[in-house]
Amino acid sequence: MDGNQGDAEDELPSLLWGLDPVFSAYAQLYIKDILQMRESQQVPGIYFYKTHPLFQVDVLGTVVYRKERDDFYCYGVDDSTGVINCLCWKDENLQDLRDSLTGDKDPTGDGFNIEEQLRKLLEAQRISTVVEIGDLLRVRGSLKTSREQREITASLFYKVNDPVMSMQISRMLEMPQLYRDCYDKPFHVPSTELSASSTDPSSFQCILAQAVYILKEFLKEKEVTRFRPYDVEYLLHPLIQQPSTDTSEEQEPGSLQSTVPSQIRNLLKETLKILQVEGEIFRKVLSQDEVYNVTEHDKDLLAAICDILREDCKVEKYAEKGCHVLHILSSVRQRYSRNLNKEALDVVLKFLECNSEIISTSDAHYTIL
């Protein structure tokens, strides 16, 4: 589809992307379209399908090639429109747990051996995550471009048991409707979601910049370790212009006055997204309870990184130069939180170095002091 192509000037300001529901969802696109999408000129790692910004996708296809490394698998997934490389990280915690289960089976067969049952459960999980060529694989994850090739870094992947092709047929019927009803329709910014004082996007950007500054200063001054959105929402109330009393008496239900709470919620949502992109905050666990950890004040995260460097720098491979940033990121994701991004890791490494707990031996290598 050639509708993907466009110039940078066709892009909406990045601060407004969160208003598009596609941006926060796992887009179910054909692999052909994923490979052809253009990358944003404003923010690397964000891609455009027509007017829709996105960075997360959901694909289902047949595995046509497989490569295994120490920490991850690389699968080539083919949905009949194209083939894309999917990088799927191994879960070392499961392997460690599996190795620790050394209990023997009950020789009489009458008792209940909890270790044996857990071993069976782990084996079933292993079978569902070890995929061979020809298997049907579903992958959800974020897009990136590596060595000029588009690929998916999986946050979730599993082998699909679909002997009568019911799931594949259901998806084949669903996707054309998604394209018609959502992806192929142009994205327009609702004017009511912009600042109450103006529908000019530049005005919204100014308010958003103030909101980011206010929240950063609050988290720093109060030394907040974690919070929920409703804990800090009140800080942004002064930034949204309230309708005057005389004007509000003449407002109809559903008018500008009724949009003020939604404007505040939208402003907070966009502010939190920016802080996440900058690495200032992150969500340790993705759940309905929307909790954000403040990166610099997360003592468990700081301790985890120091422990990783302390242990790994004893290995001959890392003894002289230290550990590479990507190695540290992989280890932290396995031990502490899979949702930690590289920007948050950079914030932590800089904080630890400023406090003389670690030292950089190059632009991308660190060791413990």
Within this chain, do residues 133 and 267 fall inside the same structural domain, yes or no?
no
What does the pLDDT read at residue 257? 45
Query: Does residue 122 lie within any of the structural domains?
Result: yes
* Total number of domains in the chain: 3
The last residue of one of the domains, among 133, 163, 183, is 183
Query: Does residue 328 lie within any of the structural domains?
Result: yes
Query: Does residue 289 lie within any of the structural domains?
Result: no
Domain that holds residue 352: 298-368
The last residue of one of the domains, among 183, 202, 232, is 183
Token pair recorded at residue 36: 């052809």
Within this chain, do residues 340 and 218 fall inside the same structural domain, yes or no?
no
Work out whether strand 226-227 and strand 358-360 pair parallel, antiparallel, or are unpaired: unpaired
How many residues make up the chain in this entry? 369
Within this chain, do residues 144 and 225 fall inside the same structural domain, yes or no?
no
For residue 188, the one-letter residue type is H
Residue pLDDT tens, the chain, 369 long: 444 544 444 677 777 787 888 988 899 999 999 999 999 888 888 999 988 999 999 999 999 999 988 888 899 999 999 999 999 887 765 555 555 555 455 555 556 778 778 778 877 777 766 789 999 999 999 999 888 899 999 988 989 989 999 999 999 999 999 999 899 988 876 554 444 334 455 567 778 888 888 899 899 888 999 999 999 998 888 887 655 444 444 444 444 444 778 888 888 999 999 999 889 999 998 888 899 999 999 999 999 999 999 999 888 888 888 999 999 999 999 999 988 998 999 999 999 998 889 998 887 899 988
Query: Does residue 157 lie within any of the structural domains?
Result: yes
For residue 331, the one-letter residue type is S
> Chain centroid to CA 233: how far?
23
Query: Does residue 326 lie within any of the structural domains?
Result: yes
Residues 6+ apart with CB under 8 A from 360: 322, 349, 353, 366
Query: Does residue 351 lie within any of the structural domains?
Result: yes
Within this chain, do residues 174 and 235 fall inside the same structural domain, yes or no?
no
Query: Does residue 144 lie within any of the structural domains?
Result: yes
What does the pLDDT read at residue 238? 84
End-to-end CA distance of the chain: 54
What does the pLDDT read at residue 361? 86
Within this chain, do residues 120 and 76 fall inside the same structural domain, yes or no?
yes
Query: Does residue 56 lie within any of the structural domains?
Result: yes
Q: Are 369 and 358 in contact (CB under 8 A)?
A: yes
Within this chain, do residues 30 and 179 fall inside the same structural domain, yes or no?
yes
**CATH code, domain carrying 156:** 2.40.50.140
What does the pLDDT read at residue 128? 67
- Please state the three-class secondary structure of the chain as a single string: CHHHCCCHHHCCCHHHHHHCHHHHCCECCCHHHHHHCEECCCCCCCEEECCEEECEEEEEEEEEEEEECCCEEEEEEECCCCEEEEEEECCHHHHHHHHHCCCCCCCCCCCCCHHHHHHHHHHHHHHHHCCCCCCEEEEEEEEEEECCEEEEEEEEEEEECCCCCHHHHHHHHHHHHHHHHHHCCCCCCCHHHCCCCCCCHHHHHHHHHHHHHHHHHHHHHHCCCEECHHHHHHHHHHHCCCCCHHHHHCCCCCCHHHHHHHHHHHHHHHHHHHHHHCCCEECCCCCCCCCEEEHHHCHHHHHHHHHHHHHHCCCHHHHCCCEEHHHHHHHHHHHCCCCCCHHHHHHHHHHHHHCCCEEECCCCEEEEC
pTM greater than 0.85:
no
**CATH code, domain carrying 338:** 1.10.10.10
What does the pLDDT read at residue 205? 73
What does the pLDDT read at residue 254? 44
Distance CA 239, CA 367 (A): 44
The last residue of one of the domains, among 254, 282, 310, is 282
Beta bridge partners, 152, equal 86, 143
What does the pLDDT read at residue 289? 85
Q: What is the pLDDT of residues 154-197, one digit of tens each?
A: 988 989 989 999 999 999 999 999 999 899 988 876 554 444 33
Within this chain, do residues 217 and 335 fall inside the same structural domain, yes or no?
no
Within this chain, do residues 37 and 127 fall inside the same structural domain, yes or no?
yes
Distance CA 137, CA 134 (A): 9
Taking only Cα atoms into account, the Rg of the chain, rounded to an integer number of angstroms, comes to 24
Within this chain, do residues 215 and 307 fall inside the same structural domain, yes or no?
no
For residue 99, the one-letter residue type is D
Within this chain, do residues 111 and 130 fall inside the same structural domain, yes or no?
yes
Within this chain, do residues 114 and 212 fall inside the same structural domain, yes or no?
no
Q: What is the pLDDT of residues 39-56, one digit of tens each?
A: 988 888 899 998 899 999
Within this chain, do residues 6 and 41 fall inside the same structural domain, yes or no?
yes
